[in-house]
Amino acid sequence: MMRVGIVGTAFGESRCRMLAAVPQAQLIAVCGRDEARTRAVAERHNCVPVLDYRALIARPDIDVVGVYTSTDMHGEIAIAALRAGKHVIVSKPTAVDVPEGEAMLAAAREAGVQLVVEFDTRYVPGAYRIYKAIAEGRLGPLIQGDYVNKCQRSQAYYDEGSGWRGIAAMGGGCLQNQGVHPIDHLLWYQGQVEGVFAFSATVGHDIPAEDAASAVIRFTNGSFATLTVTTTYRSNLPDGRYGGGTLKRAQVHGSLGSATIEGDTVADWVVPEAVVAAPIPDHPPLNVFQDLAWTLADSARPAHTLVAGERALDGVYITAALRQSAATGAYVAIDQLRGVQ
C-alpha cells in the first residue's frame, strides 16, 4: 500500500478525492496553512490535518508527498521531501525555472526516490488511444503535429492573490501555466524535442508575462509540430473553473495514418488496423497515483504514462527555450539549456 500525504488544500483536495479511487494507495494526511480549511478537508477525507509541510514530510507513515501548491512553492517543498527519502508528485509545471527543476532532480537522484510531475491528459482514454497507436507504430514514422490550448482569462484571474499567474518567475504566463499541457502532449506523442522557434506577446492583459504564444517545434526523430497557446481567445465553449472554456486540440500524423483529439474526444481517426508484435496495455492507469503505485511495485514496468525522473524536467526546458527564442528571435536547441544529464 502506497501511503500519501498531500500538501495544498485548494487544488489538492481534488487529489484527495482522486486517491479514494485507487486501491493501491491510502491518503494519510493533508497539509495547509489555513487551520480551519485544513481541518475541514481532513475531516471530509478521513485523514490527519497538518499545518506545516515539514511536519507532514517527517511522518514515518508517509511514503509519497503530493505537492499541490502554487508553482513557486514546488522547489522548496519537493526538495525537502526528496531529501527525507519520500517519493514526490508535483502538479504541473514541475518548477518555475531550469535551475530549480535541476535541483529537484538532483535531490531525487541522490536519495534514490521518484520525482514525478502529474499530467492528467495522459490518463484520458481518448488521448491514450492515440498514444497507443503511435507507440505501436500504427501511424508509421511521424511527420507533423499540431497542439493548441486557447482560452480566455480575465484581468481579475491574473490579479487574484499574489498575482503569480502573470509573473513568469512564479510559474505564471500562458506558456508555463496553460502551455505546459500541450507541451507535455507533444512530448508524449512525438518524443524528445531538439529545438524550438517561438513568438510571444502580452496583448490582452496588464501582466509582465506573455498571454499569447506560437512556436514551431523540431523533434530528435525528425518530425516537427506547431504549438499555439493563449489566454486571449473568446469562444462559445462552456466556462470552466477559471473563466472562458478552453479549446484543446492535438493532431498528429505519420506516413500511415493520422489522429486528432479535441477536448477529451477523438475527433478524427485514420489509423490502419495491424497485428502488433509488442502491443502496449489497452487502458491507462486511473491516474498518477495508481501509475506511481504500480511503478513502485514493479520497477521494470514500462513508463507509458508516468512522467518521472529526467522526463519530469522536459517541459521546464522547453518552456525556457520557447521564452528564450521569443526574446532573441533565434532558434534555441534544448541541449543548450541542460545542466543535469
Q: Would you state the cell numbers that stand for residue 21, as one nine-digit string?
A: 479511487
Who's near 166: CB < 8 A, 6+ residues apart?
158, 159, 172, 173, 205, 207, 208, 209
Q: What is the pLDDT of residue 244?
A: 83
Identify the CATH number of the domain defined by range 125-279+309-336: 3.30.360.10
The beta strands (E) that lie in the chain are given as 2-7, 25-31, 48-50, 64-67, 87-90, 115-117, 142-150, 193-201, 212-219, 224-230, 247-254, 258-262, 265-270, 332-333
For residue 305, which of 273, 280, 269, 277 has the smallest C-alpha distance?
280
Which residue matches cell numbers 525537502?
A: 80
Q: What is the pLDDT of residue 341?
A: 40
Structure confidence at residue 340 (pLDDT): 45
Rounded distance, CA 244 to CA 241, Å?
Answer: 8
Coil, helix or strand for 105? helix
What integer pLDDT is reported at residue 325 of this predicted model? 98
Q: State residue 176's pLDDT score.
A: 95
pLDDT value of residue 339: 72
CATH 3.40.50.720 in the chain, residue ranges: 2-120
Give the pLDDT confidence score for residue 242 in this predicted structure: 82
Question: What fold is seen in the domain 2-120?
Answer: Rossmann fold (3.40.50)
Contact between 74 and 90 under an 8 Å Cβ cutoff? The reply is yes
User: What is the distance between the alpha carbons of residues 69 and 279, in angstroms, rounded to a whole number?
Assistant: 37
Give pTM, 2 decimals: 0.95
Mean pLDDT, each 10-residue run in order, the chain (341 residues) = 97 96 98 97 98 98 97 96 98 95 98 98 98 96 98 95 92 95 98 98 97 98 98 91 89 98 97 87 97 96 96 97 97 87 40
Domain(s) of CATH 3.30.360.10: residues in the chain: 125-279+309-336
